[in-house]
Structure 1
């Protein structure tokens, strides 16, 4: 049976072939090998539809061993820390309220029209005294998960992310504890198959530097090289992300925040049952073959940061 995946545009298929080592004729057998391994893991119950799994193969440039590790860690961390990484309800709590602020948006046109997806986090739009960072991160996580499933530009070309701190306060920064920073960094690098191509920080506020310096050493050298701090100099940002690719609120041409939020409201409605179903996909550590994972050593504030080892 042919693989049940969306066909890529000719430009994206060319990128997938050249950058990710995708061989279209081999996709079916690559997915089959991945599913065979999954079926042999007593502790792991993941989604196994083709469109979901190919995101992991593409995100790992078709290294099956890396894709296995990422998939395992994706569900390991979601099971262990569901309040951060496993969204099961896109209607409850403050989820829709935060989304409607337009704090986090994915812009409709990718960079240079056929490049990475552009994400924008406008921190100041969700006041720290009203919304906890974990509540905001639930929205970010849900959007990231939808991108993983349906955004071919994000899957093939990666994501360029812009953090705009205009209007943010020290209260926002104080919510970012070292333990949370570690978890976010590990999830982003070791579990998520969406490749970060660049992370830009603009309109940074007083107190940002110590938080940034806490995060940075936790990241791989490759990711560290993709971090760009522009202070309040938007012209430095627009040298790398031309103004036309920013939304209308910034003087660009890449959609308006209100329209993007309205589109994603519909998307969350469509994905409501999908997210409820997330509760069924997990790991059971007592069934994991081999040595159990030492979560306290990995993520305790005193514990030194190191990678998860998953066979």
Structure 2
């Protein structure tokens, strides 16, 4: 993401959960204006936020994270801009390369007009994950799985406000501006990697049968 562009912190929030539970990472895709931010930038921010939290929060590094994907406000127009190839790359990064281990994932507030698209997208992903993915109707059902003491007040919990988390993440990311500006100086040269290079089609089973995701 360009360093001179405002980070879309209103859509991604991180806050710690109590006791030995995983840390919590909330992604609110409906909060993003597709005319201002590309999907690649949203995924880029998500990766940046996870990297910073891994450096700053030892609890998250040890216990992993609970990923909450809030689809409220996501309509069919936004879904038409959805890049499935880019999503598969991000999903592969999240599962194999993320500095924080995902322990559980919840998808909430899915509008009816995009249910078919979203469910098809997840069902055809062949990569087998070792954590549960649960689709819930609303935040009330989310409380039954996570508990009020771990959720922010906007989701019916008692663990602070989303605005506080957003402000914290914005300040934290700005403090790492120099760190990420240096990031472009590092990388890999795939042409020098020994052995046969696996294609995305092979990794995700596009040319073969699909493995089943663990749905509740």
CA distance in 2, matches of 1:209, 1:254: 33
TM-fit CA distance, 1:280: 2.0
SS in 2 for 1:282: coil
Higher share in helix: 1
Residue 147 of structure 2 corresponds to which residue in structure 1? 242
Distance in 2 (CA, whole Å) between partners of 1:154 and 1:209 is 33
Displacement of 1:268 after TM fit? 1.7
- Asked whether the 8 Å contact 1:245–1:252 carries over to 2, the reply is yes
Deviation, 1:211, is 2.3
What is the distance in 1 between the residues matched to 2:33 and 2:63? 32
3-state SS of the aligned residue for 2:37? Answer: coil
Change in Cα spacing, 1:172 to 1:154, as seen in structure 2 (3 Å) is: farther
Report the secondary structure of 1:218's partner residue.
coil
In 1, the alpha carbon distance for the partners of 2:120 and 2:60 equals: 27
Q: 2:167: which partner in 1?
A: 262
Establish whether residue 176 from structure 1 lines up as the match of residue 88 from structure 2. no
Q: TM-score, normalised by structure 1?
A: 0.60
Secondary structure of residue in 2 paired with 1:186: helix
Distance 1:266 1:286, change over 3 A: same
Unaligned runs of 5+ in 1: 1-86, 307-311
Q: Is contact 2:126–2:205 with CA below 8 Å preserved after alignment?
A: no
Q: Secondary structure at the match of 1:142?
A: helix
Look up the match of 2:67.
161
Distance 2:150 2:38 in 1: 30
In structure 1, the residue corresponding to 2:106 is in which secondary structure? strand
Please state whether the residue corresponding to 2:105 is helix, strand or coil: strand
Q: 1:136: which partner in 2?
A: 42
What residue ranges of structure 2 are gaps of 5+ in the alignment?
A: 211-216
Q: Say yes or no: does 1:222 pair with 2:130.
A: yes
Cα pair distance change 1:269/1:298, threshold 3 Å:
same
| 2:130 match: secondary structure | helix
Q: Secondary structure at 1:222's aligned position in 2? A: coil
How many residues end up aligned between the 2 structures? 208
**Pair 105,117 (structure 1): closer, same or farther in 2 beyond 3 Å:** same
Aligned to 1:121: 27
**Alignment partners' CA distance in 1, 2:208 and 2:48:** 29
What SS class does the counterpart of residue 44 from structure 2 fall into?
Answer: helix
2-side partners of 1:209 and 1:194: how far apart?
A: 30
SS at match of 2:67: strand
Task: State the partner residue of 1:106.
Answer: 14
- Deviation readout 1:151-186 (Å, 9 max, x if unpaired): 212211111011112222113322333312321221
Are the counterparts in 1 of residues 127 and 203 from structure 2 also a CA contact under 8 Å?
Answer: no
Give CA-to-partner distance per residue, 1:119-158, whole Å, 9 cap, x none.
1112221133443222222221210111222221221111
Q: Distance in 2 between matches of 1:221 and 1:131?
A: 29
The equivalent residue for 1:185 is: 91
Q: Distance in 1 between the 2:207 and 2:167 partners?
A: 43
Q: Which has the larger radius of gyration?
A: 1
Kept in 2, the 8 Å contact 1:163–1:200? The answer is yes
SS in 2 for 1:176: coil
**1:252 matched to which residue of 2?**
157
